[in-house]
Amino acid sequence: MHLKYESSTREPLVEGNKTYHQVTEDICKPIEQKPSRLWYIGFFFSISLLLFGVFSVFWEVYWGIGVWGINRTIGWGWDITNFVWWVGIGHAGTLISAILLLFRQGWRTGVNRAAEAMTIFAVMCAGQFPIFHMGRVWDAFYVLPYPNSRGPLWPNFNSALLWDVFAISTYFTVSLLFWYSGLVPDFATIRDRAKTNLRKRLYGLASFGWTGTAKNWQRHEALSLVLAGLSTPLVLSVHTIVSFDFATSVIPGWHTTIFPPYFVAGAIFSGFAMVQTLLIMVRKIFKLEEYITLAHIERMNKVIVLTGSIVGVAYLTELFMAWYSGVEYEQAAFKWRILGPYWWSYWAMMSCNVISPQFFWFKKLRRNVPFTFIMSIVVNIGMWFERFVIIVTSLYRDYIPGSWSYYSPTWPEVGFYLGTFGLFFTCFFLFAKYFPVIAIAEIKFILKTSGNNYKEKMAPIEEKSVEEFAHEMEHAH
Amino acid sequence: MSQKQYWKGLEEQQGTEAHKVAASNEFSEPLPFDMSEGLLEAQTPRRDFLKYLGFSTAAAMLAASCEMPVRKVIPYAIKPEDIIPGVPNYYASTFVDGGDYCAVVVKTRDGRPIKIEGNDKSSINKGASSARVQASVLNLYDTARLRGPLADGKEATFEAIDRSITASLASSKKTVLLTSTVLSPTSKNAIQQFLAKYPTAQWLTYDAISYSGMLLANEASYGKKTLPAYHFENAKTIVSLGADFLGTWLSPTEFAKQYAQGRRVSAKNLEMSKHYHVEANHTITGAAADERATCKPSQMGAVAVALYNAIQTGATPNLGTEKLNALVKNAAADLKKGNGLVVAGSNDVAVQTVVNAINSAVGANGTTINWAVTSNYKQGIDADFVGLVQAMNAGQVDTLIMQNVNPVYESAMGDQFESGLSKVANTITFASHLDETAQKCKYIIPDHHYLESWGDAEPKSGFYSLMQPGIAPIHKTRAYQDSLLTWAGATETYFNQWEAYWKNKLGGQTNFDLALQDGVIEPEQETMGGASFSGNLAAAMQQINATKAGKTEVVVYEKIAMGKGGAWSNNPWLQEMPDPISKATWDNYACVSPKKAKELQAELTSITEVVAAKTVIKIKIKGFEVALPLVVIPGMHNDVIAVALGYGRSEKIGRAAANTGKRVAPLMHYNGATFVAYNDVTIERTNETYEIAQTQTHISYEGRPILHEYTLEEFKKNPNELIEERAKEIGHFASATPWENHEGGEKEAIDANKLAEDFRVNGTLYPNYEHLGVHWGMSIDLNSCIGCGACVVGCQAENNISVVGKHHVLKSQEMHWIRIDRYFSGMPDDADSIQTVFQPMMCQHCDNAPCENVCPVNATSHSSEGLNQMTYNRCIGTKYCANNCPYKVRHFNWMDWNGADAFADNLYEDGRRDDMNDELTRMVLNPDVTVRSRGVMEKCSFCVQRLQEAKLTAKKAGEPLKDGAARTACQQACPTDAIIFGNVNDKESAIHKVRHEQQKERLFYVLEQIHTLPNVNYLSKIRNAEEVIGGNEVKDGLMNDHI
């Protein structure tokens, strides 16, 4: 599955002098210890945010969407902006676990568990918005194609919003399965180490009777491959379909064929930024710097500068197309984006998404942890603005000037958004406490090829001449 | 038949003792009640368990979920003859508010009026109505109306009040009856009977919006203290000096109908009146004008003089601005060609005298102005009122009886009137509300609403109209005529007198019944007559020349919705109706020009237009100041501030009226003879701001081809210009491409209908859907549309459209199914360059609707008749359809506006709109239209309930659907017939003719090129002007400066 020998010029993926046992110890430590004060503070804060979000949503459902700022012209505001933003964030996990798995990228093992968890939590957060942006959320089940006594009356399969329902739910299901199947051997490890009965029982339940036999591993590997194969198209399809919400419409600024690739690139861009934000915190708090190394951070920064440049090109392409198409409504839509009352959102997007990632062309900055941390937040602010720009600043001045309007969010909208942060971090804190944040089994896969101490052992071998090495190998037994 | 005995068994046949005992027991076996200790110990525990389970479940369900609210539904014990539940009755009646008149038809359902339409039989308003007429039905159910008579602020009986009033009247040395203009001949009779009983009593007429200047000028010029009948339809040249005759001046509904006749241009009929307009502020009449210029209100006289001189001597006018000079010069030249009409809004005798002289000079009298028939709309003389105020303050008046006047609020002399009122021993008012004057009165005997009244009106001499009620009086009110008759000691009621009068006049019961059915009694033909001018022109001119202009002047104007205020202030429909020009709701404000705003550091740009908090300015005259937020209106004279009447009222007028805007009547002044609606003022910027809720913030249409304007000359030269423009956009979908035809050098005419048909079929990848049978379509003529807003309120009344209140209008969450987009073009600093266009916009019922295919649940779909329909029950409220609507005409139920959702206590309340949900007010709801619940989308349905009714009627009669049988509410309300609606598949229908024969050159569809295939078409705006500025990048500064 993985290379037996790796060139010593490649950076080690696990630093320090690690043995298999040490790896298990390091990663299981947070689960087996009492959480730190910092964890409690963070968890309490997240729960409070979540409760505020629940209250905001309750307020909106009870009184009506009118407590938000959206209006007859701008029918989607922070709600769908946040939806697309969270879905975008939820892209890195699957990309890392599926596509990088298929491409045999060993470095993914240090980050994939946390990234996948992030994906799942982000998609959970994202899902809240399309549900609660409905005027009659209690009738939300109408979107499901179930046999009914109304004719039967089916949903409208022409609607991109319906495709969204399928795309997001499929993506969520597959991501969850993928994530969980990876967790099974690690849960078994924790079970086997458990000193309390309850822990033994719960992790025993969660590990589905994993015994670590060769057959277990073989099936596990096969399942991983199948799920990776399933998820790979999903990484591309989910945001493509989300972009169809806009691309299949007639609104200038939305009706664009460039949207699918542009959205996918943007999603990976923001997803990686979010992974950076979380992992830089995790490696610091749980002292996992030896597993999540500067090399990991640098690699992800490379992805960020690549995808950031792709979205930059997409932005410029949009401008070019507006000019080149000769469609005056399209041209005006971009004029008003750049110079209208929402000019600040466009320029926030441009500077955060296009200009700032260019700093990552410098190796020093790519390997600078505080800088990366700040940049990861900047990128996500930028990507939030990108969605805001696409949604709100396309709608606010479209075809008929008489209908133009403006929009500012109200507290329940902001509260809803903060609430999803609460949900996300509540889940993430629970995850960090109760789940192995790094895939123990998978990191062990690469330990002997890419671990620092093993690579050092390789050095004398590397120095040997080819003949000598071949001779030794032949007569090893 | 033999009495055969049947027996069930031998026991019965033999009649054994045992059988007799058994038969006497009803139940032959013991009942299966199990008296055992516990359920499980019972003999048949399973069966009992099921029984108990069934009972307890049923009981729990009853107790828990079947708590039904008690609804009061009272069936008719004896069904009234005329009322069939579910079937509307229509009654011809008359809308009268002081001198404002409209012949109407009242639609009642189950005994309650729910909709007012204009009466087609009336030759005055010819079926037209106004926003106020449309909204008047809501006033009937106004919760702030007084529920019974009050004496000294306490409830009292009519008898007690009558007793004390009769006693005091007998001893009153001076009694004054102050009324607004009375149109009713029988009411005048009643008043005469009262005056006859009390010889010391005096009857004065006071109009809050005064036309004394005209009345006095006409007396001086023609010897008739009256107003003539105007005929705008006969005028080839119309010159208006500040008269907003389409919006508020004298009889706007009547004039709008006439005016529109002269504005219907087509390629076959290129005749069009020329309308010159001079005004200080910006009105809808100014917007409709072909040539418009501005001047200060004090200078209107000078303009009239310059016009007179230009006509008589050909003198070149010298009025300061180039545009004004050119306008006067050209107007003079056109007026001399005959069929001219000059009207002036000024209430200054001198100005009106000069206008009379002009009309005489150009021969208007007898052609466009009819002196054989006079208009009775306004009869009040200001000097009488001022005399009364003085007499009251001098303590000379003992008794004051007031009908339909509220001088404390309405008059510029309100304060003096109020202080005078305290010196009058007996103050009696017939006010319907506890208004500013009524609050100071001793006796309040509320009058009926017109929909509860019998009566009549004579709006023009010889033209009569009858008023009949649509409902019995809701409250303990009494017709004011009955009050006067009671005090006069008459034995007959007003109704009896009225009935006798008309039966006598019409000759018998049959004629009377017929007249009541028709509603109007009018001569076949209006005789025309002239008059010759004999006024003192020199003196008038001298007086005008002596008038000095102020540095900054204020104009006090009437809003179309609000008028002088009155009960309209408490009408939520009118409060929320966007003002046609400012698009503002729920407030009054100071209208200023863009240049003035810039000077006051409140510049309007595309960036700042979205800020609702407007800078507040103080407007000061000697002894009075008022602080109002400024709203920038291009087309305002740079040194003029315009403020509207009807605001600044208290909670006592009603919740909708309360705590908004400011009373501005004191800004008018008395010039010694009449009240004039302008004043010299100083203004001062404050650092405060105030939020104004506007439904439209962007003022320019950015030169977009969403509307098309041409000058009459351009249209004459090439009527096909618009078709060519359309062909350029969509022509490449035709099988034979237009450019191929053109390359041959010979320009072949493009067939407009083929163009649209080719585009329909070829402009899509999908197969074409054939619309057989009925296919509804609408045509809106931008040339006829004057932006008055009657359709907006008509639609609201018909379709139960929710009022959302100021807070939600501020958030652009208003619900009007039809909005009128208003676009300015021109240079912001040059008021005279501004041209204004209105474009009504509602659901376009696209045959290829973008909203339909994005709805995830199929809640909006297309009917086989071309209607885009909403299924409210299916809608889950994703708002995707609204986003994808290029016209932005879908409206979402953001809140629980009217208690129609499943949540118990979440009704949206904001104070000012809350009375809309009162049980009384809800009587106005149309039972044929669903009241939408919170969280669903809604939009124009083409009044589908009316279409269904028309189709069913035709079906029952076994006839094909006749054109005109189905009319939409907006179409019916429109005073200028700008809206035509019908079945486009019917070759005989008006809509088919408009599209395929009469107006195919002017026809266009908004955003046609995106292939939405709208079923609403528009007809281009043709301005009889030198040039059209909209979209001209050099001359339309609002387009570019505005970023």
pLDDT tens, residue by residue, A296-346:
889 889 999 999 999 999 999 999 999 998 899 999 999 999 998 999 999
Q: Classify residue A136 by burial, with Cβ atoms within 10 Å: 0-12, 13-18, 19+.
A: buried
CA distance B144 to B567: 9
What is the CATH code of the structural domain delimited by B80-210+378-518? 3.40.50.740
- What does the pLDDT read at residue B928? 93
The secondary structure element, H or E, covering residue B683 is: strand B678-691
- What does the pLDDT read at residue A235? 84
Q: How confident is the model at residue A449 (pLDDT cuts 50, 70, 90)?
A: confident
Query: In this structure, are strands B1016-1019 and B669-670 parallel, antiparallel, or unpaired?
Result: unpaired
B693 touches chain A (CB under 8 A): no
- Which residues 597-626 of B have a C-beta within 8 angstroms of A? 606-607, 609-610
Q: Classify residue A337 by burial, with Cβ atoms within 10 Å: 0-12, 13-18, 19+.
A: buried
Residue B1043: is its pLDDT beyond 80? no
Q: Which residues contact A392 (CB under 8 A, 6 or more apart)?
A: A74, A76, A77, A81, A342, A345, A407
Residues A416-438, mean pLDDT to the nearest whole number? 92
Residues A54-78, mean pLDDT to the nearest whole number? 94
Residues of A within 8 A of B851 (CB-CB) are none
Hunting for tokens 């041409």 — which residue is that? Answer: B710
Q: How confident is the model at residue B780 (pLDDT cuts 50, 70, 90)?
A: very high
Q: How confident is the model at residue A6 (pLDDT cuts 50, 70, 90)?
A: low
Q: How confident is the model at residue B35 (pLDDT cuts 50, 70, 90)?
A: low
- DSSP, collapsed to helix, strand or coil, labels residue B370 as strand
Determine the length of chain B.
Answer: 1043
Sign of the alpha-carbon dihedral angle for B980, B985, B987, B988: negative
Residues B983-992, mean pLDDT to the nearest whole number? 93
Residue A117: is its pLDDT beyond 70? yes
Q: How confident is the model at residue B67 (pLDDT cuts 50, 70, 90)?
A: low
Q: How confident is the model at residue A109 (pLDDT cuts 50, 70, 90)?
A: confident
- The radius of gyration of chain A from alpha carbons, rounded to an integer in Å, stands at 24
Q: Which residues contact A116 (CB under 8 A, 6 or more apart)?
A: A93, A94, A96, A97, A175, A178, A179, A182
Asked if the Cβ–Cβ distance from A73 to B888 is below 8 Å, we say yes
B856 touches chain A (CB under 8 A): yes
Question: pLDDT above 70 covers what percent of chain B?
Answer: 94
Residue B811: is its pLDDT beyond 90? yes
Residue B40: is its pLDDT beyond 70? no
Nearest CA in chain A to B933: A136
The secondary structure element, H or E, covering residue B627 is: strand B624-632
∠ at Cα A237 (A231, A243), nearest 5°? 150
Residues of B within 8 A of A155 (CB-CB) are 856-858
Q: Which of B585, B707, B842, B876 is the best mutation test for A, with the most CBs of A within 10 A?
A: B876
Asked if the Cβ–Cβ distance from A135 to B812 is below 8 Å, we say no
- What does the pLDDT read at residue B502? 93
Hunting for tokens 């200001």 — which residue is that? Answer: B382
Q: How far is B826 from chain A (nearest CA, A)?
A: 16
Q: How far is A127 from chain B (nearest CA, A)?
A: 14
Q: Give the tens place of pLDDT for each residue, B364-384.
A: 988 999 999 999 999 999 999
- Structural domains for chain A: 20-141+154-456 (1.20.1630.10)
- What does the pLDDT read at residue B11? 76
Asked if the Cβ–Cβ distance from A136 to B696 is below 8 Å, we say no
Asked if the Cβ–Cβ distance from B821 to A405 is below 8 Å, we say no
Q: How confident is the model at residue A234 (pLDDT cuts 50, 70, 90)?
A: confident
3-state secondary structure chain A: CCCCCCCCCCCCCECCCCCHHHHHHHHHHHHHCCCCHHHHHHHHHHHHHHHHHHHHHHHHHHHCHHHCCCCCCCCCCHHHHHHHHHHHHCCHHHHHHHHHHHCCCCCHHHHHHHHHHHHHHHHHHHHHHHHHCCCCHHHHHHHCCCCCCCCCCCCCCCCHHHHHHHHHHHHHHHHHHHHHHHHHHHHHHHHHHCCCHHHHHHHHHHCCCCCCCHHHHHHHHHHHHHHHHHHHHHHHHHHHHHHHHHHCCCCCCCCCCCHHHHHHHHHHHHHHHHHHHHHHHHHHHCCCCCCCCHHHHHHHHHHHHHHHHHHHHHHHHHHHHHHHHCCHHHHHHHHHHHHCCCHHHHHHHHHHHHHHHHHHHCHHHHCCHHHHHHHHHHHHHHHHHHHHHHHHHHHCCCCCHHHCCCCCCCHHHHHHHHHHHHHHHHHHHHHHHHCCCCCHHHHHHHHHHHEHHHHHHHHHHHHCCHHHHHHHHHCCC
- What does the pLDDT read at residue B880? 94
- What does the pLDDT read at residue B65? 57
CA distances for B140 relative to B799, B872, B906, angstroms:
18, 30, 27
Query: Token pair for residue B599?
Result: 């000077």
Q: Which of B765, B837, B888 is the best mutation test for A, with the most CBs of A within 10 A?
A: B888
CA distances for B570 relative to B143, B358, B914, angstroms:
9, 41, 11
Nearest CA in chain B to A145: B857
Sign of the alpha-carbon dihedral angle for B10, B16, B18, B23: positive
Question: pLDDT above 90 covers what percent of chain B?
Answer: 71
Q: How far is B937 from chain A (nearest CA, A)?
A: 9
Hunting for tokens 């809808």 — which residue is that? Answer: B284
- DSSP, collapsed to helix, strand or coil, labels residue B851 as helix
Cβ neighbours of A237 (radius 10 Å): 18
Asked if the Cβ–Cβ distance from B854 to A159 is below 8 Å, we say yes
Asked if the Cβ–Cβ distance from B853 to A156 is below 8 Å, we say yes
B700 touches chain A (CB under 8 A): yes
Residue B871: is its pLDDT beyond 90? yes
- What does the pLDDT read at residue A15? 77
Higher pLDDT, B349 or B744: B349
- Mean per-residue pLDDT of chain B: 89
Q: How far is B774 from chain A (nearest CA, A)?
A: 26
Residues A15-21, mean pLDDT to the nearest whole number? 81
CA distances for A361 relative to A290, A292, A308, B835, B972, angstroms:
25, 21, 12, 56, 69
What is the CATH code of the structural domain delimited by B709-1023? 3.30.70.20
Residue A2: is its pLDDT beyond 60? no
Residues of B within 8 A of A326 (CB-CB) are none
Nearest CA in chain B to A247: B884
Residues of A within 8 A of B903 (CB-CB) are 62
Asked if the Cβ–Cβ distance from A160 to B854 is below 8 Å, we say yes
Residues B971-989, mean pLDDT to the nearest whole number? 94
Nearest CA in chain B to A342: B607
CA distance B246 to B130: 10
Residues of A within 8 A of B813 (CB-CB) are 66, 71-72
Question: pLDDT above 70 covers what percent of chain A?
Answer: 98
Higher pLDDT, B417 or A441: B417
Nearest CA in chain B to A343: B607
- What does the pLDDT read at residue B736? 46
Q: Which of A245, A400, A406, A413 is the best mutation test for B, with the most CBs of B within 10 A?
A: A400
Q: Which residues contact B616 (CB under 8 A, 6 or more apart)?
A: B627, B628, B629, B630, B686, B688, B689, B690
Residue A276: is its pLDDT beyond 50? yes
CATH architecture for the domain at B550-694: Beta Barrel (2.40)
B908 touches chain A (CB under 8 A): yes
Strands (E), B236-379: 237-241, 274-279, 291-294, 340-344, 369-375
CA distance B386 to B393: 11
B250 DSSP assignment? S
Q: How confident is the model at residue A465 (pLDDT cuts 50, 70, 90)?
A: confident
- What does the pLDDT read at residue A476? 64
- What does the pLDDT read at residue A230? 86
Q: Which of B707, B894, B1008 is the best mutation test for A, with the most CBs of A within 10 A?
A: B894
Q: How far is B942 from chain A (nearest CA, A)?
A: 20
Higher pLDDT, B36 or B13: B13
- What does the pLDDT read at residue A236? 87
Query: In this structure, are strands B443-444 and B426-429 parallel, antiparallel, or unpaired?
Result: parallel
B1005 touches chain A (CB under 8 A): no
Minimal Cβ distance to B702: which of A62, A138, A332 = A332
Asked if the Cβ–Cβ distance from A140 to B811 is below 8 Å, we say no
- DSSP, collapsed to helix, strand or coil, labels residue B371 as strand
Asked if the Cβ–Cβ distance from A161 to B856 is below 8 Å, we say yes
Residue B143: is its pLDDT beyond 70? yes
Question: pLDDT above 90 covers what percent of chain A?
Answer: 56
Nearest CA in chain B to A402: B821
Asked if the Cβ–Cβ distance from B876 to A140 is below 8 Å, we say yes
Q: Give the tens place of pLDDT for each residue, B531-570.
A: 888 888 899 899 998 888 889 999 999 999 999 988 899 9
CATH architecture for the domain at B212-375: 3-Layer(aba) Sandwich (3.40)
Asked if the Cβ–Cβ distance from B882 to A75 is below 8 Å, we say yes
Q: Give the tens place of pLDDT for each residue, B250-262.
A: 999 999 999 999 9
- Proportion of chain B in helix, strand, coil states, percent, rounded to 5: 35, 20, 45
Residue B39: is its pLDDT beyond 60? no
pTM for the full predicted model? 0.90
Q: Which residues contact B54 (CB under 8 A, 6 or more apart)?
A: none
- Which residues 927-946 of B have a C-beta within 8 angstroms of A? 933-937
Residues B1004-1027, mean pLDDT to the nearest whole number? 93
Query: In this structure, are strands B399-403 and B175-179 parallel, antiparallel, or unpaired?
Result: parallel
Q: How confident is the model at residue A445 (pLDDT cuts 50, 70, 90)?
A: confident
Q: Give the tens place of pLDDT for each residue, B925-945.
A: 999 999 999 999 999 999 999
CA distance B726 to B717: 18
Amino acid at A468: E
B192 touches chain A (CB under 8 A): no
Q: Which of A58, A62, A68, A72 is the best mutation test for B, with the most CBs of B within 10 A?
A: A72
Q: Give the tens place of pLDDT for each residue, B721-743.
A: 999 999 888 888 765 444 454 44
Edge-to-edge strand list for the sheet holding B227-230: B227-230, B369-375, B455-460, B463-467, B520-521
CA distance B428 to A275: 80
Residues of A within 8 A of B882 (CB-CB) are 72, 75
Residue B23: is its pLDDT beyond 80? no
Higher pLDDT, A467 or B217: B217
- What does the pLDDT read at residue B737? 47
- What does the pLDDT read at residue A101? 77
Residue A93: is its pLDDT beyond 90? no
- 8 A C-beta contact, residue A79 and residue A126: no
Q: Give the tens place of pLDDT for each residue, B478-533.
A: 999 999 999 998 889 999 999 999 999 998 899 999 999 999 999 988 888 888 88
- Chains A, B: CB contacts within 8 A come to 191
Every domain of chain B and the residues it spans: 80-210+378-518, 212-375, 550-694, 709-1023
- What does the pLDDT read at residue B4? 76
Query: Token pair for residue B96?
Result: 């009268």
Q: How far is A236 from chain B (nearest CA, A)?
A: 22
